Structure 1
Amino acid sequence: MNREGVLRAGVLVWLTTVWILLWGNISVANVLGGLAVGVLIMVLLPLPRVPVEGRIHLWSIAKLVGLCIVYAAQSSAQVAWLAVRPGPPPVTGVLRARLAIKSDLVLTLCIDVLNLIPGTMVLEVDQVKRMVYVHVLDVGTDKAVDQFYRTVRQLERLFIASFERDEEWKPSPWHVDNPVFDPSALKPTDRKDLP
């Protein structure tokens, strides 16, 4: 069995398990029903091929996970303080940041992590230009804005180190070239919003 067959079998087992858990008991009928529903879902709603275009670097991923935990803890404390502190509500705003991430999959992962950080929410993604528009809870000072951009840059660097190192990255057969966006073509004036 090839890799794709193993993946499909794993998805079928997972769907069957979910079906059994939803019914609440293990029986032959539930297992057969789960297999039937799983096959039906896989035939009618097939998963798209996910382009894997680089190698995974475990040490960089470990650093990324650690950094995400630190950012989530720091941001949670900041949001909690903003909620209980005396005074007017914080100044909020939408900030944009351009990401030099090539793969749509890695871009999606990075956006998911940005959404996990309390006080931030990605509102829009310009996939062609690799620009994200993020609602940030506290942008009342230049220091807070700079901190947001530092966070984005650090996450971007770690995602690239984890999944898209230039020397190992090769477009997959399903990769769509983006003639509009070339991260190396950014001029300093284009990066004025990037500290």
Structure 2
Amino acid sequence: MDAEHVATTGRRGGWQPRAIIALAVVWVLLWDKVSLGNVVNGLIIGAVVTQIFPLPSIEYFGRIHPWRLVVLVARFLVDLVVAAVQIVISTLSPRPSLGGSIVEVQLRTRSEFYMTIVSALVSLVPGSIVVEARRRAGILYVHGFHVTSPEGLEELRQDVLDVETRVVRAIGTDEEITLCTQGPTAPGRAAQETEEA
């Protein structure tokens, strides 16, 4: 690894527009409302945070695929609605199934950038949340609300891999897209199961 590469990937601080925009997007999502005030406040907070806690440079070699990005956002919104309805139905059920499970998901890409986006999208959908991430190994541990059967665990794992595929298809390189759409599916396993009476 040459000195120029180290200087490029290891540099911290300074003006970080991509990090500021990413933090602003997260801020708007947290408020669940797109408005001029939220966007401006998100940009201000992003600028302040990146100056106080400068982030390391992230290597990104992909490109944005507009139509696939639209598909990614549209599917995320659909997942939000479907998951919310499922939780309401389960909560109002006369005999709700309490408990949940944690499944280990081996991502196919090794990009921390993609892992962060996948973790955020999975956690923002009601009923699922990333409880741990092993960035070097590319592994996420995802808790599924009311997921207790082996079939449910496999479905949750596949849902996370599908999110990864949509993310990579939206902003990845051709090689990464091929890896996620044609490469072998990494096996997963139930990391932990919990059931409450």
Same fold (TM over 0.5): yes
2:84 maps to what in 1? Answer: 76
Does the CA contact (< 8 Å) of 1:55 and 1:168 recur in 2? no
Please identify which structure carries the higher strand content. 2
Name the residue aligned to 1:117: 125
2:143 counterpart (135, 149, 161): 135
TM-score by length of 1: 0.62
**Aligned-partner Cα distance in 2 for 1:57–1:150:** 23
The 3-state SS of whatever aligns with 1:68 is helix
Could you give the per-residue CA deviations for residues 113-158 of structure 1, whole angstroms, max 9, x where no partner exists? 0001111110100111111101111213344333312311211111
| CA drift at 1:167 | 3.8
Q: Does 2:154 align with 1:150?
A: no
Residue 51 (structure 1) shift: 2.5
1:191 paired residue among 160, 171, 187: 187
User: Does the aligned pair in 2 maintain the 1:90–1:140 contact within 8 Å?
Assistant: no
Q: Is the 8 A contact 2:109 2:176 kept in 1?
A: no
1:76-96 C-alpha deviation (Å, 9 max, x unpaired) = 111111111111433311111
Letter in 1 for 2:187: R
Mapped contact 1:106–1:163 kept (Cα < 8 A): no
TM-superposed deviation, 1:57: 1.0
Sequence identity percentage: 22
How many residues get paired?
A: 150
* 1:47, distance to aligned residue in structure 2 (A): 4.2
Tell me, yes or no, if the aligned pair for 1:102 and 1:164 is still in contact at 8 Å. Answer: no
Query: 5+ unaligned residues in a row in structure 1: which ranges?
Result: 15-37, 170-181
* Counterpart in the other structure of 1:85: 93
Q: Map 1:8-157; keep pairs closer than 5 Å.
A: 45-157=53-165
Matched residue SS, 1:132: strand
1:145-186: CA deviation from partner (whole Å, max 9, x where unpaired) = 3331231121111111112234489xxxxxxxxxxxx99xx9
TM-score, normalised by the number of residues in structure 2: 0.62
Change (3 A) 1:162 1:74: same
Over aligned residues, Cα RMSD in angstroms?
Answer: 3.7
